[in-house]
Structures are given as C-alpha cells and as structure tokens.
C-alpha cells in the first residue's frame, strides 16, 4: 500500500512539474537591452498592466555589467539604469512576473569593443537564442534586430525638441557636423566662400548624439518630414525636411558622426543672369548636359533651377538620385536607387517617357554606362558630376564608353564654381588630322571641345594606337607649342617603345618627323624586326602610322682585355684576369661584333660550339687565326 501511495505522489509531482513547464513555455519572453532599462519604460508598463504574469522578463547579464561600468565611471545613466533594475525586480515580485538574468559576463574583448556595438550584439543573440522579443529604446538596435530576423519592439520615449538637429543651424549655416567627443561645427557662408566654425564649446557625448538620432527616427513614419534613404550596418542617410543627414557609427566609423547639409537658397535660371544664347541652347539644343564642379560648389542648386526651367516650358522631368535631396517642383517625380542600383528604375523611366532626367551624382562605372544608355535612347539627360575642372568631367567618361560615342552622349558641359558658372564647353565629333600632325593619312575621328561663347577649340581628343590623347590647343605660343610637341613625342615614343621593346628592350628611338622615326637595336635582333620579305617591319609601320629606319647599335668599347682560350666538351672558354669578373665584354672577329656578354664568376666567357658564334670562333681557332679575335671592355649600360 505504501508503494502505491509513493507511486501516486510521484506521478502527481511530475504532472505538476510538467504543468509548470508548460506554463513557463507559454509565457511571452521579452529581453531588455540597456537603453530600455535606462528609459524606465518597463516599470511603467508593469504598473499599467501592459506587462503581467503572462510575461517572462529576461535581463541580459551584459546589460547589467554595462550599467555597472557606467556607474563606476560616475555616469548618471549607470545609476539610473541600476535603480530601474531594482524597481523592475520589486514590481515583478509584487505582480508575480517571472524575471530571469541570463547570459555570460562580457569578457575583456567584449568590453574593449563595446563602443563598436559588441554588447548590443550579445543582447540580440540572447533574444534570438531564447526566441524572445527584444524591447529597446534605441531605434538603431531595433532596425538591426529586425534586419537579422529577431522580433523587436521599439518603445519611443518622448524626445525633447531640444534635440532637434535644426537647432544647430542659423541663417548662414550650410552644413552642421556633430562628432562624438568634439565641439559641434558648422560651415557658414556661401558656396566657394565659407568657413568652418565652432558653434558651441561643449563637447558632444554619445548619449546626446543618440537622442538626436532618436528625434530623427521618431518621425520616420511621416514620410513628408523624415525619410530613410540609405540604410546599412553602421550608416544611415536620412532626409529630414530639407536637410540631408548622414549618420555613421561603428563599424563604419570609429565613433558616432552626424552630418547635416541644407540648401542655402533656391534659385531660378533667371537668377544666374545667363546669356540668351545659353538659355536658347538649354531650351532647344542641349540634351546631354553635364553640370560639373567641386563638392559644395552649387551644382545641385543649378540642376534644380534647370529642372524648374524645363517644367515651366511644359517638359516632363524626372530625377535619379540617392539620396533624393534635390529641391525640385512638385510635379517632378524623384526616383531613388533600388538595391544599390538604378538599373531597374531606369527600365521604369523608359516606360514613363520623360523629356529630361536629372541624374544626380554620376560617380560609379555603372552610373556612366547608364547615363550613356538612357541618353542614346533619346531621353534628355542632365548629369551632376564631381570634377576639379570642366575638362575633368569629360575625362571621367573616357574609358567608360567608346571615345567616338562621347559627343553623342555629352553635348554641353557647365562648370560651376562658387555658385556661379565659370566655364561652358560644347562637344563636336569630326574626322581630321589632329593638331600637330601633317600627313593626311593620319586623319582620324577627333572630339573637339570648344568654348561655348568664343567657339574656339580648346582641346582635341583622339586615339593614337591604343591610347586616348587629350591635347590642349588654346593660346599656344612657341614655347607652349614646343612643350606640347615634346609631350606628343613622349607619348609617341612610349607607344613605339612598347612595340619595339618586344624585340629589343634597350632599343634607342629617335623621332625624325611626324611620320618618320629611327630605331637603333642590337644587330642580332634586326632580322626578327625586318621579318621575311620585310613583312614584320611593314606591319609595325602600319600599327604605328610612321615610317621606320632600322640601324644596328654600335657598342661603346673600352680597353682591350687579354685572354686565353681553352676547350672542354661542347664549350669554348675565354679566360681573363679576375679583375674583370662581372664586367661586360665585347668579342670582335675582325670588324664584326660577335657577342656582348658578362664575364662569369670564374673569370670565364663561355661559348657553345654548336651556336653560330661558337662555330665562327672554333673555325678561327682551327685555322690558327685566333689573333683576329679581340676582347674589349663594354661601356654600354
């Protein structure tokens, strides 16, 4: 009977244990990170019965250690967080809510990498392992958790308007630069004329920058106010009203940095006081326009004014930009990138058939290819591109698309400096003999770059062999003309040396005229250069576009070297004094140079009897005519 009662009690025990386990497994697990503990929202939710006995609260040990570390450094947030933890445990005990501390203590490496997000990563790992929901007040942490498939709830505490980024701007501010551990800075002035100034003596800490970020992200659902344009681990690009804001933090940067840029003012095309001929060209002729300039020069402002001009002239205008920060009229639709590329968006553009598309920030190779592709389909294109000079904007297309296609893609280049138009080029393709060449059979396609107002050609671009050459033509006096010819000669010599160097790397090249050169090479390579029936030299002349005279190189000789002769098997050795070891020597048979070679470590110059030179030397020895052989020091390098 006692055995039966024992079995009954044992069954009852296991049954209750299983019920307890089922109840625990049915509870909703939530993991708290450091930010939500500091904010004090969890204790309030317990008071409001938003969190009750149906929940299990998991507190990562890493979060406790981080709060303890902050408190040891006398930081207020550490004390606030530890006090909140005590409050959470007391309220959970009163309301029968299960609380569990979980995870290992951070090691030394974790602590060192805390600023790089290691502690946050440990906390999200716990949420994933426990199949729990992460509760956080840090929007970045929330985004990161969601991006990795972890359930996350972002609890937004009211953010004070004092953390509004606009508070750092005044009427003269172009951009604001907020860096962790540094006083806030601002660029003030106008494009081309600005200074970097401190706007406060108080250094920014991580908590303040996080509050600024929380303020921005707290309005992320209101697309007219704030929009996340680019987002990846450690970097965000946000549009807030008319501000373009770039946020970087570890691992992209070693500390938090927030950069906000705003347009100084919106201009119309009339504000630039353009010449009527230029306005006519923009309105009627130009369809492949590049707006070039240095960063902050006012390129995007001018592009916006062109967009407004086309809209006023009943043109359908779209933009390709990432981030979408151009200040354009309401009826201009702004397209952004899709999965870090514009290819699919470009397909949509062809379907909506715009008259003009503004491509902001043409920078990557695919951007140049896409710009050219859209232009060649018949869409008018305005590209905004970074360049130090107007010519640089054109040069950036060389190599990305065929040289002959450039004038069909780009017809007008407008260079902006300090918010003003400094230079305008127009491009034209023609077939002619390039400047500096005289032979008519050297005619080739040439891209002419002309000043828009004077119509004077300032540069020519053409192909020479496999190289693309840009030649400046404007204001060439005798000195400049000589320097230019020297540059052409150097380029020509480089190309010639590349071809002839395959036969003799140390060939001497002399440019006699624009269509004739002389090359001096070692005697033994001349037959290979000439080829059978002159076939090889004819092919080289055709490739280089010049006539070639070939001469044998006459070596520079020094003192005569005494030698003796020995034979061994298939070798002939010329023995010299040890003082000549490592030096080059020329062996002559009468007036004929047989060979130039280096004397070996054993003070020997060796010849193979089976070689042509070896046979000549052997025959000379056998005919007892070895006095006709002379050995001299070589002065050639």
Residues 76-106 pLDDT 10s = 778 888 888 998 888 888 888 888 888 877 7
HSE at residue 473, side-chain half, CA atoms within 13 A, is 17
SS3 256: coil
The Cα 252–Cα 271 span in angstroms is 40
Which residues make Cβ contacts (< 8 Å) with residue 596, sequence separation at least 6? Answer: 522, 555, 584, 585, 586, 587, 634, 636
The Cα 430–Cα 407 span in angstroms is 10
The Cα 308–Cα 315 span in angstroms is 10
| pLDDT at position 183 | 94
Let me know the angle formed at the C-alpha of 604 by 601 and 608, rounded to the nearest 5 degrees.
Answer: 120
Higher pLDDT, 487 or 621: 621
Residue of 410, 450, 461, 420 whose CA lies nearest to 294? 420
What tens digit of pLDDT does each residue of 329-362 get? 888 988 887 666 777 788 888 888 899 999 988 8
Does pLDDT of 47 surpass 70? Answer: yes
At 498, is the pLDDT very low, low, confident or very high (cuts 50, 70, 90)? Answer: confident
Q: Residue 374: in which H helix or E strand, if any?
A: helix 365-376
**Residue 30 · residue 132 · CB < 8 Å:** yes
| pLDDT at position 192 | 67
SS3 78: helix
> What is the phi-psi region of residue 296: left when phi exceeds 0, alpha when psi lies from -120 to 50, beta otherwise?
left
Can you read off the two tokens belonging to residue 324? 């979408």
| Average pLDDT estimate for 166-173 | 89
The Cα 204–Cα 199 span in angstroms is 12
| Average pLDDT estimate for 597-620 | 83
At 13, is the pLDDT very low, low, confident or very high (cuts 50, 70, 90)? Answer: very low
**Residue 63 · residue 32 · CB < 8 Å:** yes
At 163, is the pLDDT very low, low, confident or very high (cuts 50, 70, 90)? Answer: confident
Strands 257-261 and 173-179 come out as antiparallel
DSSP class of 531: -
Answer whether the bond into residue 323 is a cis peptide, omega within 30°. Answer: yes
| pLDDT at position 116 | 54
Does pLDDT of 2 surpass 80? Answer: no
> Quick count: other Cβ atoms within 10 Å of Cβ 123?
27
Higher pLDDT, 330 or 511: 330
Does pLDDT of 368 surpass 70? Answer: yes
Residue of 464, 428, 462 whose CA lies nearest to 445? 462
Does pLDDT of 110 surpass 90? Answer: no
SS3 437: coil
Residue of 287, 289, 286, 284 whose CA lies nearest to 313? 284
CA dihedral 489, 495, 497, 500 (to 10 degrees): -130
| Average pLDDT estimate for 189-211 | 85
Higher pLDDT, 187 or 436: 187
The β-bridge partners of 227 are: 239
Does pLDDT of 224 surpass 60? Answer: no
| pLDDT at position 185 | 94
Does pLDDT of 384 surpass 90? Answer: yes
| pLDDT at position 355 | 92
Does pLDDT of 24 surpass 60? Answer: no
Does pLDDT of 485 surpass 70? Answer: no
What mean pLDDT, rounded, does the chain reach? 81
| pLDDT at position 26 | 56
Burial of 148 (0-12, 13-18, 19+ CB in 10 A): middle
SS3 177: strand
Domains defined along the chain, listed by start: 2-154 (3.40.50.1010), 161-261 (3.30.450.90), 269-472 (3.40.50.300), 480-552 (3.30.300.20), 557-634 (no CATH)
% of the chain residues with pLDDT over 70: 85
| Average pLDDT estimate for 422-438 | 85
Of the candidate ranges 103-112, 536-545, 599-608, the one whose mean pLDDT is the lowest = 103-112
| pLDDT at position 20 | 47
Let me know the angle formed at the C-alpha of 515 by 510 and 520, rounded to the nearest 5 degrees.
Answer: 25
Q: Residue 421: in which H helix or E strand, if any?
A: strand 420-432
């Amino acid at each position: 009977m006692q055995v039966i009662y024992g079995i009954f009690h044992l069954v009852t025990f296991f049954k209750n244990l299983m019920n307890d386990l089922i109840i625990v497994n049915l509870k909703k697990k939530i993991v708290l990170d450091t930010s939500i503990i500091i904010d004090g929202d969890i204790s309030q939710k317990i008071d409001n019965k938003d969190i009750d006995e149906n929940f299990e609260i998991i507190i990562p040990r890493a979060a406790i250690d981080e709060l303890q570390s902050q408190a040891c450094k006398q930081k207020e947030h550490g004390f606030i967080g530890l006090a909140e933890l005590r409050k959470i445990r007391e309220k959970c005990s009163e309301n029968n809510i299960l609380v569990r501390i979980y995870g290992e203590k951070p090691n030394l490496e974790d602590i060192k990498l805390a600023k790089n997000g290691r502690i946050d990563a440990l906390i999200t790992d716990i949420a994933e392992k426990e199949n729990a929901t992460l509760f956080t007040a840090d929007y970045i942490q929330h985004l990161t958790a969601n991006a990795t498939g972890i359930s996350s709830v972002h609890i937004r505490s009211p953010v004070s308007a004092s953390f509004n980024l606009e508070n750092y701007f005044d009427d003269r501010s172009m951009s604001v630069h907020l860096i962790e551990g540094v006083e806030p800075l601002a660029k003030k002035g106008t494009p081309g004329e600005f200074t970097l100034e401190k706007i406060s003596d108080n250094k920014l800490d991580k908590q303040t920058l996080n509050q600024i970020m929380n303020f921005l992200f707290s309005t992320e659902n209101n697309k007219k106010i704030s929009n996340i344009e680019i987002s990846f681990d450690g970097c965000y690009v946000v549009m807030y009203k008319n501000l373009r804001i770039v946020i970087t933090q570890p691992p992209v940067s070693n500390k938090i940095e927030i950069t906000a840029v705003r347009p100084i003012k919106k201009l119309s095309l009339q504000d630039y006081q353009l010449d009527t001929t230029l306005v006519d060209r923009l309105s009627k002729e130009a369809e492949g326009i590049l707006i070039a300039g240095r960063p902050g020069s006012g390129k995007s402002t001018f592009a916006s004014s062109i967009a407004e001009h086309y809209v006023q002239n009943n043109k359908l205008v779209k933009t390709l930009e990432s981030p979408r920060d151009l200040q354009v009229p309401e009826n201009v639709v702004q397209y952004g990138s899709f999965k870090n590329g514009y290819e699919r968006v470009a397909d949509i553009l062809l379907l909506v058939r715009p008259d003009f598309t503004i491509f902001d920030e043409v920078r990557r190779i695919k951007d140049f290819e896409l710009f050219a592709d859209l232009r060649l389909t018949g869409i008018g294109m305005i590209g905004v591109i970074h360049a130090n000079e107007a010519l640089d904007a054109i040069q950036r297309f060389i190599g990305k698309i065929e040289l002959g296609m450039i004038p069909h893609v780009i017809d007008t280049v407008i260079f902006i400096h300090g918010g003003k138009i400094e230079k305008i080029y127009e491009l034209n393709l023609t077939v002619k003999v390039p400047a500096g060449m005289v032979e008519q059979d050297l005619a080739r396609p040439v891209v002419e770059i002309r000043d828009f107002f004077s119509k004077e050609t300032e540069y020519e671009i053409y192909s020479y062999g496999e190289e693309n050459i840009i030649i400046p033509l404007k204001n060439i006096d005798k000195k400049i003309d000589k320097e230019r010819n020297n540059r052409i000669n150097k380029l020509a010599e480089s190309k010639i040396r590349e071809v002839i160097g395959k036969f003799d790397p140390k060939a001497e090249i002399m440019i006699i005229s624009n269509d004739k050169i002389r090359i001096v090479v070692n005697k033994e390579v001349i037959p290979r250069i000439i080829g059978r029936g002159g076939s090889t030299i004819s092919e080289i002349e055709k490739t280089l576009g010049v006539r070639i005279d070939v001469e044998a190189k006459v070596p520079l000789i020094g003192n005569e070297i005494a030698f003796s002769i020995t034979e061994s098997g298939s070798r002939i050795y010329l023995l010299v004094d040890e003082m000549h070891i490592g030096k080059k020597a020329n062996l002559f048979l009468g007036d004929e140079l047989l060979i130039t070679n280096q004397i070996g470590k054993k003070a020997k110059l060796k010849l193979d009897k089976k070689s042509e030179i070896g046979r000549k030397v052997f025959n000379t020895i056998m005919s007892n005519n070895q006095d006709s052989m002379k050995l001299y020091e070589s002065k050639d390098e």
